[in-house]
Structure 1
């Protein structure tokens, strides 16, 4: 591929990921307001949101296998077009004033299935388009546009819903998905390479390919330990994002206090993503796990501020620092995994990673209130903060980066040592 083609493909990748992230971020707000307007029922809202999450979790392993069999741009094209059609159908129904919860639940399930197939293909698309030397920089840029989209998406969907109705917000989401599909689907990558002993796409069954993918995970204990640590972080984030608003509204200045905390975290996340490619990192895996471990700070700061009557600024600063760490984590993790996992198995390995992440946070959101009722908010948050730090720092201790370098033939077992 020529230099000009590489640049064009990279630009399409960034633009497409920006649009896809924006459309994805618009969906929850549109769905929430649409269901509440139609029914006013929290149970109905929970049903609709669960209908997206269940197929997403069940089908992620299937999506990982397909991502390793098929060119990634084709998988992403179909996934985004499917979400475009689902949002378009939702827009038609809402604009027609039908507002049937079962219909919205089915369309949410279709969107969840599309995410399950599309998500594992994205890392393969990045690897196929971006040379290794530039991958950290591009991952950081993708992190920036994703973070900004996560802020703009709900604001845009909420504004449109309040101004003209949720049907128009769903219609705009469908249009953005269509643009994303055309942009990412227009990227051209090489055919997936296969060694002489590999049977993918030559009669190997789904179960066998799935087992082979998990075998790649088992060969790399550092990967499995890190992913489990990240799962603990996602679970604790679910606790914080459930209990944090309640504590802020009741004890830390009301809704304005929570908005200060949230916006400080957004600024920290973007700052961390921007800083990541400028850091000189000799042990990227250590930085990744330390970035997750600093989520201890807001988990402890929240009950301390509530218990001692401190300013909301204390929690905001702690959350800012934690989100800087997570902002640094994201592009470094994407880069390390892309360099250490064979491209032929990257989709399946990343689907395992995403499965843990997608599953852990909803569980945290669901059990936060019952657990706080049994243990008290302060004890739960402090214990959770300690657990997230320990789980991720244990991964650092067990990481091969903490041991003397192995022979060059051990590639795939030890994360690379490189300057970012």
Structure 2
């Protein structure tokens, strides 16, 4: 008598590793990112349509960056002190309100420069409180064994939203005007905040002592940050690398495109290739989990220099587009491995404070780099300034490898692989 056939095992569900919090946080990031990527384009055209100059566009852009730098550390401390999803919801709603007021002014035809500056600064302040809480939340919502795959998917979603949002924002600004784009951005922030209300957070508070107050917690965060040589070495590297990359993307690239490739359309194509490279590498990183986390991540940093090199050697547009694509891939390779390293090495109760020091250090020199881009091109010539950016980026990518922890920091071996290793060494 034959025994009944055993039922076939159920097929694994796609994204079974992605818990509720990860899915909500990723969806909310896409919603807010679609609107927020188009907002700078709309704001710039709002300034110009109000009779403003290119200099005033720069002032409005800088007004967003100043409070971001000033409040990042406070935002990180609060995100470790309070429930992170509460901080994110409050920041999203604050940004929704500031963008709605800005949209109303633009649609009403009353856009004085002081209001644009003030509301742009409000957007930067909201981001300063949101960013550390968001990074802490996404790292907290993923099991360590799925971190590489999860962070790859998250960055793909975030980068895809930025690419699509920028394209949509530009098209809508031309079609219906900047005010409506800013209103859509406000709606996106409100919807994202509404989604994040449904995040489920363990009622058990994080193991953080608050008796010393906010300043004490910032000191603890600094101690955690400074005690890891690989952490502060990479952030110091990025202070200069991001300044160089920012100068190429916002100043030198558009100038070269205008001089050699016929204008903004060519640079837009190059930036689109950069974004596609980021998304394509995200697909790769869902399957590739390199053992040496920071070593592999830092190989991605070497690729950051390719756009400056292509511009410096006066490469044609196809080669420039290819360089931008590969550079974008390098950004994701570094970014995913960096998030894995932070989640693996930093205690969860310190995620947001360490993230704040990371963000602050990485962008600290960006305003200076952008401001000095013009004088550097005048002193060295445009090609000379591009060579300086390329060589500087490559030198910094090589220099950080001097730090042993950057070369050696590794994922833990899976249990199945670790057992034979323990036997071979007699453990």
Q: Cα offset for 1:253?
A: 4.7
1:6 Cα shift? 6.7
Structure-2 change in CA distance of 1:4 and 1:377 (3 Å) = closer
Aligned to 1:327, the other structure's residue is in SS state helix
Residue 416 (structure 1) aligned with residue 411 (structure 2): yes
Task: Tell me what 2:7 maps to.
Answer: none
| 1:406 aligned residue | none
Rounded to whole Å, the distance in 2 between the matches of 1:64 and 1:192 is 20
Deviation at 1:182, TM superposition (A): 0.8
1:186-222 Cα shifts (integer Å, max 9, x gaps): 2011246455xx522xx21222211111100111000
* 2:180 paired residue among 168, 175, 180: 168
Q: Distance in 2 between matches of 1:417 and 1:329?
A: 19
What residue is the counterpart of 2:279 in the other structure? 270
In the TM superposition, what are the counterparts of 1:57-96 in structure 2 within 5 Å?
57-96=69-108
The aligned counterpart of 2:224 is 216
**Following the alignment from structure 1 to structure 2, what is the Cα–Cα distance between the partners of residues 334 and 20?**
21
Map 1:232-271 onto structure 2 (within 5 A): 232-241=240-249, 242-271=251-280
Are the equivalent residues in 1 in contact too, given 2:42–2:182 (CA < 8 A)? Answer: yes
Aligned to 2:375: 370
- Residue by residue over 1:353-399, the C-alpha shift from the partner in whole angstroms, topping out at 9 and shown as x without a partner, is 11123333333222211111111122222222122122122222313
Matches within 5 A, 1:68-147: 68-147=80-159
- Matched residue, 2:162: 150
Distance 2:212 2:16 in 1: 37
TM-score using structure 1 length: 0.89
Aligned pairs for 1:321-336 (under 5 A) are 321-336=326-341
1:352 offset after TM fit, Å? Answer: 0.9
1:417 CA displacement: 4.7
The structural deviation recorded for 1:179 is 0.7
Unaligned runs of 5+ in 1: 404-413
The answer to whether residue 306 in structure 2 is matched with residue 303 in structure 1 is: no
Separation in structure 2 between the aligned mates of residue 235 and residue 124 of structure 1, nearest angstrom: 25
Equivalent position of 1:283 in the other structure: 292
**Partner residue of 2:239?**
231
* Other structure's SS at 2:390 match: helix
Corresponding residue to 1:49 among 58, 61, 68 = 61
Matched, 1:24 2:63: no
Tell me, yes or no, if the aligned pair for 2:230 and 2:403 is still in contact at 8 Å.
yes
Native 8 Å contact 2:400 2:406 kept in 1: no
Question: Is 65-74 or 364-373 further displaced after alignment?
Answer: 364-373
Structure-2 residue corresponding to 1:199: 209
- 1:389 matched to 2:394? The reply is yes
Question: Is the 2:293–2:340 contact (alpha carbons within 8 Å) kept by the matching residues of 1?
Answer: no
Give the TM-score, by structure 2 length.
Answer: 0.88
Question: RMSD of aligned C-alpha atoms?
Answer: 2.1
Query: Which range moved further: 251-260 or 291-300?
Result: 251-260
Deviation at 1:167?
Answer: 1.6
CA distance in 2, matches of 1:56, 1:287: 30
Shift of 1:67: 0.9
Q: For 1:384 and 1:353, how far apart are their aligned partners in 2?
A: 22
Q: Distance in 2 between matches of 1:186 and 1:5?
A: 19
Structure 1 counterpart of 2:418: none
* Aligned equivalents of 2:364, 2:145: Cα separation in 1: 32
Please give the per-residue CA displacement for 1:263-310, whole angstroms capped at 9, x wherever unaligned.
2222211111221121140101011111112222222221112xxxx4
Shift of 1:49: 1.8
Structure 2 gaps of 5+ residues are: 1-14, 415-427
Q: Which has the higher mean CA deviation after the structures are superposed, 373-382 or 186-195?
A: 186-195
- Structure 1 distance, partners of 2:92, 2:367, is 23
Q: For this pair of structures, how many residues does the alignment match?
A: 399
**3-state DSSP class of the match of 2:19?**
helix
User: Is the CA contact 2:35–2:181 (under 8 Å) kept in the aligned structure 1?
Assistant: no
Partner of 1:348: 353
Tell me how far apart the structure 2 counterparts of residues 263 and 6 of structure 1 sit (CA, whole Å).
Answer: 29
- Cα contact 2:230–2:406 (8 A) shared by 1: no
